[in-house]
Structure 1
């Protein structure tokens, strides 16, 4: 039986990569509908045109549809929405605001209200086989210690509005699990591809590279605090391949998966590795985290160093993401998370090549 797919979050980077991997790995595809905002029509059409040069992506099976997940009925034309609800077998919900520094109201509108509307729409699909919701391991907020895939509810607070709104959104999705077949994906912090280094934006650990690049001519590089917190980094290709596999795995309905590194490095170890690969120098000068935090309250300094102040919180909060369910259900696939140090040079090479591209850098507010 052929599947019909609907993706939100197109032409976003992860949605685009998931679609490409889907075409390469699955032959039983009837149609792929890609929901995009009207303001993103030009970029969406450009991506489809690019795919026409890819022999593995059958663009005749792709249809772009305008909509808005924050609106009732996803903002779809009723004449389009009715047949879609009769056709779609798999819904991938990736649309979200991912910025660590995002204000609460826009994050709530897209991440929470948007997910509420997607949930409502999905519940009306007549042939639905799987609803795949893209969350984050960091719905754990300020929790420390071991976090299990079966856990969500906590009262420990959050490091930023992104974490908080994704937590609230996942709560909404959990309420759907007994009504419709749902799979929740919680990746760690997604970095570039292990083979090409390609990534959408230089955020997360790339802020370290921005900082090291800005300070590379100093005789001694600084580092922040003790850096004992473990930071969970995962490559894009692992997350993409694992998500597509689990989305079609017969046993994954109703499950939540930590797509995380089972052996993550500490913030200091990651900082040292990136610094050495980029500059051939290890950082030696300890800068108290409190002082760094106060200094980065100055916007001009944040812009010069290319780092968001919110990123420093990940040097402090240490959670261990248990991923046993993911490992069990991925066992037959030969898909696993590689060691971060095994592909660090590839990530740094891509950063070197693209660091002058303004589109790769997030806005530092």
Structure 2
């Protein structure tokens, strides 16, 4: 059967890479509809042309739709019924991915937007799979072993990103009896395991910002007691895994942690970065509380390029069980690469692009 795909979140990096993977892997790719916000139409057309050139396919395989997930019917004005009849697979990736996002904006996009996508998906007569991009961090401040089969409201969340992604996943999960759904919960996404390529220096890259901007120091102290595991996963693993699971019959109705089954601690990752950057081992230790105090000073955190909210992950003791993902991905020979083996490419890409503004997150 030829597949007609519908994507939100284009021309975002994960979305455009996922389209490339579906074409490359021979996923019966007939056509793709991409929902694009009006201000992003030019960049979306440029990205579509790159995909056509790289994949050696023609533009008639793609349709860019101007729209907005925060609007009813997703703001799509043209040929709604024709589009709905054609679509076989939906990928909902559009969201606000920002640890410091204000509550109102996060709710509008992540929760209200997902409700609108859900309502639209329910009107698709030929839908074979609805794949929703959540996050492993819907766990909030719950700690200990965290299962893929659980969706438990925690007592609290570390930020509004986590909270609104939890609320959105609850909405999607509630449709599993009506719609063929697969929920993807990635860990913290890092650059490509081989090339280091990414489009945004957030998450672990805040540590690289910190170390790079303190390069003048004679030594580099540890930040707190970083015993918490930081679950970093390369974007190529996320893309390959999602492309497989979205078409795999056994994945219908399941939720997967696309996380590293053997994650490193914050301290181990920090040490890897220091060794790669400066060929030294960290020395001494700055109390985490003191770092948090420093980062309350806006000019200082802007200078260091670190969001205050990132420090919460240095002490959080959650451990993601990914048994279902490991089991089902093994059928396609897909596994999460070891972070230690790609630290060099990750740091190299950062150093080559650290002066380019578009890679950096705006620190508020």
Fold similarity call, TM over 0.5 = yes
Aligned equivalents of 2:109, 2:281: Cα separation in 1: 40
Gaps of 5+ in 2: none
State the TM-score, normalized to the length of structure 2: 0.98
In structure 2, the residue matched to 1:255 is 254
In structure 1, the residue matched to 2:22 is 22
Partner-residue secondary structure (3-state), 1:343: helix
In structure 1, the residue matched to 2:351 is 352
Q: Which runs of 4+ in 1 moved over 4 A?
A: none
Superimposed CA distance per residue, residues 266-318 of structure 1 (whole angstroms, 9 cap, x where no aligned partner): 00000110111012122212111111101100011001111010000000102
Instruction: Confirm or deny: 8 A CA contact 2:20 2:55 kept in the other structure.
Output: no
Aligned equivalents of 2:338, 2:51: Cα separation in 1: 31
In structure 1, the residue matched to 2:74 is 74
Partner-residue secondary structure (3-state), 2:337: coil
Where does 1:204-219 land on structure 2 (aligned, <5 Å)? 204-219=203-218
1:89 is the counterpart of 2:85: no
1:6 is the counterpart of 2:6: yes
What is the aligned residue count? 364
The structure-2 alpha-carbon separation of the partners of 1:349 and 1:291, relative to structure 1 and needing over 3 Å to count, comes to same
Superimposed CA distance per residue, residues 67-96 of structure 1 (whole angstroms, 9 cap, x where no aligned partner): 10000000011x421111111000000000
Aligned equivalents of 1:231, 1:204: Cα separation in 2: 10
The structure-2 alpha-carbon separation of the partners of 1:36 and 1:363, relative to structure 1 and needing over 3 Å to count, comes to same
In structure 1, the residue matched to 2:50 is 50
In structure 2, the residue matched to 1:200 is 199
The structure-2 alpha-carbon separation of the partners of 1:150 and 1:172, relative to structure 1 and needing over 3 Å to count, comes to same
Instruction: Confirm or deny: 8 A CA contact 1:231 1:264 kept in the other structure.
Output: yes
Aligned equivalents of 2:14, 2:56: Cα separation in 1: 18
Partner-residue secondary structure (3-state), 1:91: strand
Instruction: Confirm or deny: 8 A CA contact 2:70 2:108 kept in the other structure.
Output: yes
Partner-residue secondary structure (3-state), 1:251: helix
Instruction: Confirm or deny: 8 A CA contact 1:24 1:56 kept in the other structure.
Output: no
Aligned equivalents of 2:298, 2:282: Cα separation in 1: 24
Aligned equivalents of 1:334, 1:24: Cα separation in 2: 16
Aligned equivalents of 1:95, 1:15: Cα separation in 2: 9
Where does 1:96-115 land on structure 2 (aligned, <5 Å)? 96-115=95-114
State the TM-score, normalized to the length of structure 1: 0.98
1:155 Cα deviation after fit: 2.6
Partner-residue secondary structure (3-state), 2:17: helix
Instruction: Confirm or deny: 8 A CA contact 1:10 1:34 kept in the other structure.
Output: yes
In structure 2, the residue matched to 1:315 is 314
